[in-house]
Chains A and B, each alone.
Chain A
Amino acid sequence: MRTNRLSAAALVAAAALALSACGGGDDGKQPVVSGTAGSEKAATVLDRPFEKPELVLTDTHGKKYDFAERTKGRPTLLYFGYTNCPDVCPLTVSNIAIARKKLSPAEREKLQVVFVTSDPERDTPKRLGSWLRGAGDPSFVGLTGDFKDIQAAARSVGIGISPPEKGKGGEIVSTHGAQVLAFSPKDDKAHVLYGEDATAGDYAEDLPKIVKGATP
């Protein structure tokens, strides 16, 4: 892995040399090669785990859903996002859906995946339901409710989301959470975080451990 990184760096350096030799009009705005050749662990294990947030919202069937109560003692993934998000949100949800399919039926039964909207005004229960089915898995729980409650819950687990706001062109700009949190069935605390670079393969590798309450 280390050698991969080094050789990647060498390649970049060589490419840079080649470019400047050719006189490509270097105006200092050259895109930089993103240097993630050597893959490190996707999971971040937290020194101080997060408590489950108090979150009573509405699920995709329009029913009340008490997050802490319903997921008590169950391995749970929690993600804050919105359905008008074309890029990162479907990518993240789809990665988790693909990984979930690789679990044994018993493991699958235990795992709870909860998607909480960061754009509750536009994300009705019905829309959330269709989107989650389309993005990956009908078993995923989709929650909507009052933005302030959602934002406070997100903040309590270290996730910052801003209220949707109107952009210059009149379009609505929302934010998604930067991480997926994994709660342990043993103590109901989030010990692990995944960023948006986590792949379906990363989740597939880690989920059996998460389901057992171990850290990857």
Chain B
Amino acid sequence: MNRRALAGLVLIGCATLAGCASDGPDLEPRGAYVPQPPMADMASGYVTVRNTGDAADRLTSVTSDISDDVRMHRAAGATMKPVGSLPVPAGGELRLERGGNHLMLMDLDHRPVRGETVTLVLHFARSGPVKLKVPVEATNYQPRK
């Protein structure tokens, strides 16, 4: 409650001063990778999208050069649920990571191997699409936390 009140105060401050921060979300995707999948029928994908802007955004879809069907999954315990979008909170980040939320690339046109680069285009509700050249890493790759 205190926090909320504080945030509210800061927001009022911003409005009065005008130009405290840029308008809208300001997204910065980084650290994207696709682990080499066991077979050609599906792969997972990961990226962290930082939002340094003052408004939230949502990742609404992802397209790729190796799959016509990229889904977004929310991890829920030992299972996963497809979702229509994932939030990128203002001043926060959307983190897709192993064991957590992830992209699922279906019906790949080939099995990408380590060392290859694939394309992912992130589409957002408010910001323009962002095209990423994404490295294919080892099957068990996990970036250092």
Contacts and interface: CB of A to CB of B under 8 A. Distances in A.
Interface in B52-85: 54-56, 73, 75, 77-82
A133 B6 CA distance: 55
A37 B145 contact: yes
B84 to A, nearest CB: 10
Nearest to A95: B140
A31 B93 contact: yes
Contacts of A27: 7, 56, 89-90
Contacts of B10: 20-23
A197 B99 contact: yes
Contacts of B14: 23
Nearest to B11: A23
Contacts of B77: 175, 178
Contacts of B42: 84, 86
Nearest to B95: A31
A133 B139 CA distance: 12
- Name the prevailing secondary structure of the A interface residues: loop
Interface in B68-124: 73, 75, 77-82, 87, 89-95, 98-99, 102, 104-105, 111
A87 B13 contact: no
Contact of B54 (A25, A83, A86, A135): A25
A201 B73 CA distance: 28
Given A27-B89, A37-B145, A176-B78, A83 B38 contact: yes
B55 A25 contact: yes
A207 B79 CA distance: 28
- Chain B interface residue count: which class? 35 or more
- Chain A interface residue count: which class? 35 or more
B125 interface: no
Interface string A88-107: 10110111001000000000
Given A23-B10, A23-B20, A197-B99, A86 B43 contact: yes
Nearest to A98: B140
A87 B80 contact: yes
* Minimum-distance CB pairs A-B, first 9: A24-B91, A23-B10, A134-B38, A94-B140, A135-B38, A94-B139, A86-B44, A25-B90, A26-B7
17 contacts: A20-B10, A25-B11, A26-B6, A27-B90, A31-B92, A31-B94, A34-B145, A84-B41, A87-B80, A87-B99, A91-B142, A94-B138, A130-B39, A134-B39, A175-B77, A196-B99, A199-B140
